[in-house]
Amino acid sequence: MDEDALRTIDDELRAIRLDDGPKLVPLRLDKMFLRARQWRPPTTNGASSSSTAMNDRNVQVERPPTPPRSTIIYPLPLPLPANTKEVTISPLWKLFQYPELVPSVLEHFDQPKDLAIVARVCKDWCRIARKRLYEYIWVRPWEDGCHFKLVLLMDTLHKNPELCELVHKLDVRFFPLAARGNERSELDDQVQQAISHMYNLRSLVWTRDRSINPSLLEKVSDLDHLRSLEITGHSYRYYDPALLGCMPALEDLRIMMPDPNLKSKLVDAVKELDKRRCGGLRGLGIICQSSPLIDDAILKVMAPHLKALRRLTLWGCSRVTRDGVFTILDEAGDNVEELSLDALPHSRLLDLSLAPRLPRLSTLSLTITIPHPDPANPIALPSDLPTLPTLPSLTSFHLTLSAAHYFLPLSTYVALQSQLFTPSMVRKLSLINLVIAQETLTYIIQSNPSLEELYVSVNGRSTILNCEALENCKLRIFHVNAPTQWSPTSEDLRSLAEKMKWLDQIGAGNRVYEVHRKLDGDDDEVKVELCRWGRTTIPGYFQVWRA
């Protein structure tokens, strides 16, 4: 067949189309024929054997060879082989050559669902992702499906003891109290089995009232590495508070709503903890709604056994006064680093000028009540605010006005700050329910150049939108509270985030946003987007806010 005939056949094949609805799809038969036409059989002795093969009918003509397969592309990184020229390697193979890089990559994954996907990559990633996934687990009542989450979680943990060993922090604030009979008994057994295998548990939060039983707390008291415990104080008929003094490594104890049964054994528990070779408590917190159970007498008895105390929190203890608090501070000496108190008018805690030396105090949180409020003129005067001692190491200060909103004039704030801290050291400041104006906000930012977190109450959106000092500040977190009708909108917060180059988090009221910046288009312009808070950690505002 000559070249003209082949060319004619080629044109005819190229013209063939398959009728597929509204459009014609080429069959590409021309490509197949072209590959056959261009094929030449292998040569022998430097001459072409095609004519010999065509003339000799006894010789079978070889078929055109199949095109070689494309190079194998591995979707996942593989270890570097001995001969790198033969196999195509993903550019991510160096991640496995230096395995210490893998944790650095995976630490950017925060959501459990993302960690669960990452765990499917390979065994090494599974090991690291599973460790991250179970290191801190929680069940919170405000989440969707918290009942099913708790049941499935405990079912998984009690069936897989190896997973229990990965848990370092367990936070349970919900428990299905409506469960009865076999369902409740089975759930309690699963919880106890899971807790008993959490050999590496360091922090436990279990604050759901009436959800603890004696066997569960016995399992908890046997954990050798448990250093922090936050527990419901409703102990009568549910657990023996004396077990709190049997925990070998407990350093921080936080009790929510203690009852008389717990109060009667609290002093003995603190004494037992102080007898340990590692010493007594480093942190003690007692939180009540408004209860007279905890008073100065019990604080004075516990004080000699709290010499190593670094963190003290007393909220809602209506019978606690300056005498009891100062007794503990005297015994703790220079160790105290964090102090959080309800400074009620009769407690005399509004005047802390005579407090023992606190050279290491870095965080001070006070909740105050104005002694003689004037609804007709809600302005906070210097006499309404606390009198504070010299605090050379203070970096974080939180002042909350309880159950009211008062205007905080600039002169009153200046008087407070002048006695409070060294402006070059403060990193975190919150003024909740003390409403400030634009001039006060400007003064706070300009006089505290190292400020990174600021939580304030303002009288309207214009206070922050017209504040030029915000543009050049280095705040990472900024949260404002304002009346609903004058609160800043999401667009206001976004425009504010565009001006504040260092900002990572911004919010108003109960709205909290993450600030994301990215290059947009070819102009290399930075575009700012606000996304609803989606991380597993609790935003800073909800750690300083008190109702």
Give me the chain's average pLDDT, please: 84
Place of tokens 């709190």: 244
Residue 119 lies in a domain: no
Residue 414 lies in a domain: yes
Find the helix packing angle between 214-221 and 181-196, rounded to 10°.
10
**CATH number for the domain including 426?**
3.80.10
Residue 513 lies in a domain: yes
Please count the residues of the chain. Answer: 547
Q: What is the pLDDT of residues 106-159, one digit of tens each?
A: 777 878 888 888 888 778 788 888 888 999 999 988 888 889 899 999 999 999
> What is the structure's pLDDT at 74?
45
Residue 62 lies in a domain: no
**Tokens encoding 200:** 């590496």
Residue 460 lies in a domain: yes
Q: Is the pLDDT of residue 18 over 50?
A: no
For residues 33 and 27, the answer to whether their CB atoms sit within 8 Å is: no
Average pLDDT over residues 161-170: 94
Residue 464 lies in a domain: yes
Q: Compute and round to an integer the Cα radius of gyration of the chain.
A: 35
Q: Which of 476, 417, 471 is nearest to 452 (CA)?
A: 476
> What is the structure's pLDDT at 51?
44
Number of separate domains in the chain: 2
Residue 508 lies in a domain: yes
Average pLDDT over residues 429-444: 94
Q: Which of 39, 43, 44 is nearest to 64 (CA)?
A: 39
Residue 302 lies in a domain: no
C-alpha span between 431 and 463 (Å, rounded): 15
Highest mean pLDDT among 11-15, 88-92, 131-135, 402-406: 131-135
- State the residue range of the domain holding 13: 1-34
CB atoms within 10 A of CB 45: 5
Highest mean pLDDT among 46-55, 431-440, 534-543: 431-440
**Tokens encoding 101:** 């890089």
Place of tokens 């516990």: 302
**Tokens encoding 61:** 């003509």
State residue 499 phi and psi, 5-degree precision: -80, -30
What does DSSP say about strands 252-256 and 23-26: parallel, antiparallel, or unpaired? unpaired
Helices (H), 208-277: 214-221, 260-274
Which H or E element spans position 119?
none
